[in-house]
Chains A and B, each alone.
Chain A
Amino acid sequence: MAVFTRPRQAFVIAGVLGLALSATACGTGDDKKSSKAGSAECAAYDKYEGHDGKKVSIYASIRDAEADLLERSWSQFTDCTGIEIDYEGSGEFEAQLPVRVDGGNAPDIAFVPQPGLVKRFADAGKLKSLSADTKALAEQNMPADWLKYGTVNGTLYGVPLGANVKSFVWYSPKTFKEKGWEVPTTWDQLIALSDKIAASGMKPWCVGVESGDATGWPATDWIEDVILRTQGPEVYDQWTTHAIPFNDPKIVDAVDRAGSILKNEKYVNGGFGGVKSITTTSFQEAGVPVTNGKCAMHRQASFYANQFPEGTKVAEDGDAFAFYFPAIDPAKGKPVLGAGEFVVAYADRPEVQAVQTYLASAEYVNSRAKLGNWVTANNKLDIANVASPIDKLSVQILQDKTGTFRFDGSDLMPAAVGAGTFWKGMVDWLNGKQTAPVLQGIESSWPK
């Protein structure tokens, strides 16, 4: 069964292939960029000098347009220092990162959006602690609340990078003005307004929790926001750390309160159908009816601004804007729920540390913010560099030193709950399952 009729022919083919390979190998000669160190525009990067030609790999879940902005945000740093940043974004980040790390193929740096995952890697001894420079800079620039989420067993591993504010309700200022509705500032006003809108024939709320792999997460945000408002930050902390069980009466109460909106056929689901349409409506689509009059309100984080159709004016007097999700119990203050990603390092080569330090610096956060669509808790961010009104509002909330900030609870919990049974439980709950058995199920899945 000779594949080639004659051996000689085979050798000729092999030879040609070999030639082809060596020819292409010549063609790929990488003309190496030399750093522009020393020039005036690079003065700010002097402290990161001395790593010319070194490579640092970064792995994160940020993709597409956002990733382009990210790469542009550090282009000057790369030009000036000669450190080449090899960025890779993946939609399967959370699942792939542990595989890569355990497989001995860890990136130098990862942007991890879950403190729970940071803890997992830190406990396994995979993370490198921060360099003294980075630590000093982080402690100087970041709110203590945020540093706490990057700290495991007393060691700071993760420096907060981007952030978002979740305690927002999106609405249409235009529609509100036309109908004469007031932006509610208390929970009672919020419910009264919902009733009024429902009576007018419009569905007051639209909700969608479908998110592919992560279906259910927007519902967990609802629960977290309500627990913060009815029980306050202390109980919230006990809940996220499992100091009180998931089916504690306090939690049951909060879930039922969220249910008074989410599971109310009169309130939901503007433009999509009944309560059951919530689980199959994608969170990206869910808030869009706010702008076309099918529903009035949509509770979602600051980043939702990007989801509106092109041409939508996102501003206080525009087609869409957001108000603060009202407090329930005045005694519990005005809590803010938010999230963000943390820069962790799996290598401690000097150039990796330099990049990590740079990402915590004032220069970086301002250069990234200028490109738009970005918020951070870093207090060196000059609000003048933030363009969009919603981002401005978010920065104000994040930099408000009197406010109570809490990180997204499901991101703090072990992944089996925070990215597993909690999400799944919310889907079942929205599809009609009672609160008690759902919370009981989540409680029993908490890793022992």
Chain B
Amino acid sequence: MEFDFADQQPKLLMLMYGLIAFVLVVGGLLLLLDVVPAWFARRREAQLVAASASGAPLSRRPKQREGLFALFFLLPTLLLLTIGLVVPAIRTVLLSLMDRTSTNWVGLRNYSWMFSEDSIVRVLANSLIWVLLVPLVATAFGLIYAIMVDKVRFEAVAKSLIFLPMAISFVGASIIWKFVYAYRGEGDQIGLLNQIVVSLGGEPKQWLLESPMNTLLLIVIMIWIQAGFAMVVLSAAIKAIPADIVEAARLDGVNPWQMYWQITMPTIRPALIVVVVTLSIATLKVFDIVRTATNGNYDTSVIANEMYNQAFRYGESGQGSALAVFLFILVIPIVIYQIRNLRQQREG
């Protein structure tokens, strides 16, 4: 097929506008963040110089000025947070108490629907399986791998092999795995898994059809993507263990097992928690994998996918909002735990 530039002109123009807008915004922000503080700093410096030269007392309200200065930088963030997060969150909570037309109040009906409808209970159960398995298995894999490749000869290569899937989008990864699970009734199997089964003398299976196995197979995709993240963070934490501790332990004559449980684990514990928490939140929000691989069919749907379906495809904005609020509530304890954890670390 020939590529006609004249034909594509509007699209190319759009592309160029996009690029220019991007450069302008990012460039503008960098400029702002560079120039404005520098200007303030220079002014303060000049004042200090002037003050010390004349022997007069320093400007009387430095604190207040610093407050203004902080506000200047906080304002855009606060504004964007309000518009993009706080207002929609409040609105979603309100919508979850209304019917599908978002005009009549229905109280908690959408929430009771959520827990009484069999198919939705199934969705909640699936989400639970996801959030239990993904963080644990992905972290475990990452940790074992990080320890195993630590200080071996081709460490960088071995690590990048596991880290590579991180670079693939969820949708891309799901499509890849969909091919792995692909099924052909007759003729050659195009799916890796079925080809293995067939070459071992088995019957090809429709992997994504049977619950709950299909959910587990989808979870494999997420683990495949996220194990690299866990591995990198944990590997960095392992490397950061002070050498003198390790040496002292060696001198005390610990075996590798003791070394692991008494030195490595306690030292990397904060990093471990960060990884598990991050993965838990990411798993609760999982949407792309389910939507790409099965579309939530065959009992594989999860909360985020169901929320999208209810709110945008079925026009049940009340029920969709209720699911969104529920998802939000599930994330809150994890976030609180994480914040407390960070605070303790800082104090400790």
Residues of A at the B interface (CB closer than 8 Å) are 2-4, 7, 10, 13-14, 17, 20-21, 24, 28, 94-96, 98-99, 120, 123-124, 212-213, 215-216, 269, 271-274, 276-277, 279-280, 414-416, 419-421, 424, 427, 431, 441, 444-445, 447
Contacts and interface: CB of A to CB of B under 8 A. Distances in A.
B347 interface: no
Contacts of A427: 297-298
Contacts of B309: 420
B297 A95 contact: no
A447 B308 CA distance: 17
A28 B13 contact: yes
A53 B316 CA distance: 40
Interface of B: 13, 16-17, 20, 23-24, 27-28, 30-31, 33-35, 38, 100-101, 117-119, 183-186, 206, 208-209, 295, 297-298, 308-310, 312-316
Contacts of B312: 95-96, 98-99
B183 A10 contact: no
Contact of A271 (B35, B186, B206, B316): B186
Contacts of B308: 95
Given A24-B20, A215-B297, A427-B297, A10 B34 contact: yes
Contacts of B184: 272-273
Looking at chain B's contact residues, the main secondary structure is helix
A64 to B, nearest CB: 13
A415 B185 contact: no
Q: Which of A4, A94, A419, A424 has the most CB of B within 10 A?
A: A424
A273 B313 CA distance: 31
B20 A14 contact: no
B34 A3 contact: yes
A20 B295 contact: no
B302 to A, nearest CB: 15
A215 B291 CA distance: 12
B206 A14 contact: no
Contact of B185 (A120, A277, A424, A431): A277
Given A3-B34, A124-B101, A415-B313, A17 B186 contact: no
B73 to A, nearest CB: 13
Q: Which of B20, B27, B209, B295 has the most CB of A within 10 A?
A: B295
B35 A213 contact: no
Nearest to B299: A428
Given A273-B185, A419-B313, A431-B209, A10 B119 contact: no
Contacts of B33: 3
Contacts of B298: 279, 427, 431
Contacts of B185: 269, 271-274, 277
Contacts of B209: 276, 279-280, 431
